[in-house]
Amino acid sequence: MRKISLAVVAIMFTGVSAFAASDAALIKKVTDAGIKPIPQSKLEVLKLVDNPKNPITDCKVELGKKLYFEPRLSKSGLISCNTCHNLAMGGVDGVDAAIGHKWTANPHHLNSPTVYNSVLNQAQFWDGRDPHLEAQAQGPIQAGPEMAAPKDLVVARVTSMPAYIDEFKKVYGDDVKVTFELITETIAVFERTLITPSRFDAFLNGNMSALTDKEKEGLNLFVDKGCASCHNDIGLGGTMQPFQVAAKYKFASLGDFKGDKNGMVKTPTLRNIEETAPYFHNGGIWSLSDAVKEMGSVQLGIKISDAEASKITTFLKSLTGKKPEITYPILPVSTDKTPKPDMK
């Protein structure tokens, strides 16, 4: 009986060793493909997301959060950053084309990208026109089809409320001048903290049991099919890439967006991808599995079967990460000096 037990134990340890070797080989394969995990260390994460010219502090993050949820930054007084980048819904709005001022759909039929992990992007906006969150935050506030608020109106609204003035002084000093640029830079500080480490990161950081066997199978297929050629680095996306490399996108006629001057389009992050439907720059596809198959055709020139797409989708769902805990802020009270909402 003892001999049988020892034999069983030996087989068990051999199996564990074999699985460990297989997992280590998969991790190497993934990292060799250019994919990196979010670091485990909070200090390393801070180094990754911080901007030395606009450093993260607790009080700056809190002020930035209030401004992120502040609808009075919009001309109508109804739309905040969170309207299109809803932190309770994967950082998106869940519609195909973003809706803005006067219930206007984006004129180019552009979909709202997620704000979660956007600090990991090398380029912001679908056409990549801004590299940094600080610059990106200025665009939607001023854009006519979005928040439609001129710079001076934004500053007038914020500075009309003593509680905001006091908080800016607390963050930046008593002699601070509240400008439009400072307001948007403060929003960007908050956005830099919206990192969502996932089980996938735990796996790449050495926790072999963080992914299921089916998820590992999907990950292996994800790399073998060539998906990591665009969806790589820590963000699994966020760089400018040519689009419609091998075939025409089936919903190319939905909207008039053609990319930047060279036809390049920002690759969306795959982090939290199961929460950010619909997909593609114009929100043309609602099914994640269908999006995987379409990318195979359009970008890789291959046919991804239903079974293969299902396996890759199983892996992609492991990229759903842990969100930072966000307490909805209580915003300052408007005063008689606060410019009134303008719906025109």
Binding residues: 81, 84-85, 101, 227, 230-231, 295
CA atoms within 13 A on the CB side of 9: 6
Q: Distance between CA atoms of 197 and 28, rounded to whole angstroms?
A: 19
Structure tokens at 7: 């034999």
Residues annotated within a binding site for heme c: 81, 84-85, 101, 227, 230-231, 295
Q: Distance between CA atoms of 243 and 295, rounded to whole angstroms?
A: 10
Catalytic site residue from 70, 134, 146, 167: 146
The b-or-e profile of 323-342 (16+ CB within 10 A means b, else e) is beeeeeeebbeeeeebbeee
Biggest distance spanned by C-alpha atoms of the chain: 88
* DSSP-based three-state secondary structure for 130: strand
146 is catalytic: yes
* DSSP-based three-state secondary structure for 216: helix
CA angle 46, 47, 52 (to 5 degrees): 105
Write out the catalytic residue numbers. Answer: 146
